[in-house]
Chain A
């Protein structure tokens, strides 16, 4: 157990809908990262937050947004869902913002039908 908690574990939704994925980082970790894992794109960095502020942005679609709350948990919002958004979404956390060691959650498997 990495100490990073992601909910829900599985999510099935229809095209055009909006979902929210939640991540609770390890106790004491200030930085949260979101990654998408799909068969065609592999593991792609989406976005990083550090102590509530956006730190780095990757290939995140405009339909996706994220935030980190004062208690340091993070949410990833995916809207206007398309079939191609079906993937495993991972959250990771680290103490610092430079990712010298990041711990990954078990992921949320999103299926868009």
Chain B
């Protein structure tokens, strides 16, 4: 079955510390991978995406993610977080040649404390 698992439901971290949000997927076909951020009472904003090519992907707001095909992972990282990064983060997968639907993980709530 095709699925996405975000390994941490909540990640508390202090300001200026590094953070990693973990995402694993299960698929028998090629995938496209995405990270979205949702601020309170807002829609989803695309942070970054992996379609093909370099496995290290850089996104907005200083975030980056690395696609690891052998471990079927797409972890999101930021070397130094800010209070404004406090939000819910969603990992999502689209499956090659299966239309446009996204399968989302359950989300990780990132809480940055001063």
Point out residues on A near B: beta carbons under 8 Å: 2, 4, 31, 33, 35, 42-45, 48, 50, 55-56, 58, 90, 92, 94, 96-107
In-complex Cβ contact of B100 among A4, A94, A104 (8 A): A94
* Contact of B106 with A by CB under 8 A: yes
Distance to closest chain A CB from B101 (angstroms): 4
Point out residues on B near A: beta carbons under 8 Å: 32, 36, 42-46, 49, 51, 90, 92, 94, 98-107
Q: Given the complex, which residues of A lie within 8 Å of B98, measured CB to CB?
A: 56
A90 to B51, CA, bound (A): 23
Question: Do B45 and A101 touch (CB < 8 A)?
Answer: no
Question: Do B100 and A55 touch (CB < 8 A)?
Answer: yes
30 contacts between A and B (CB under 8 A): A2-B45, A33-B101, A33-B102, A42-B104, A43-B90, A45-B102, A45-B103, A48-B99, A48-B101, A55-B99, A56-B100, A56-B101, A90-B43, A90-B44, A92-B44, A94-B100, A96-B100, A97-B99, A99-B100, A99-B101, A99-B102, A100-B32, A100-B51, A101-B49, A102-B46, A102-B100, A102-B102, A104-B45, A106-B43, A107-B43
Question: Do A104 and B49 touch (CB < 8 A)?
Answer: no
Question: Do B44 and A98 touch (CB < 8 A)?
Answer: no
Task: Identify the closest chain B residue to A105 (Cβ).
Answer: B43
Question: Do A2 and B104 touch (CB < 8 A)?
Answer: no
Q: Given the complex, which residues of A lie within 8 Å of B94, measured CB to CB?
A: 98-100
A97 to B97, CA, bound (A): 10
Q: Given the complex, which residues of B lie within 8 Å of A94, measured CB to CB?
A: 100
A35 to B92, CA, bound (A): 13
Question: Do A98 and B99 touch (CB < 8 A)?
Answer: yes
Question: Do B46 and A99 touch (CB < 8 A)?
Answer: no
Distance to closest chain A CB from B29 (angstroms): 13
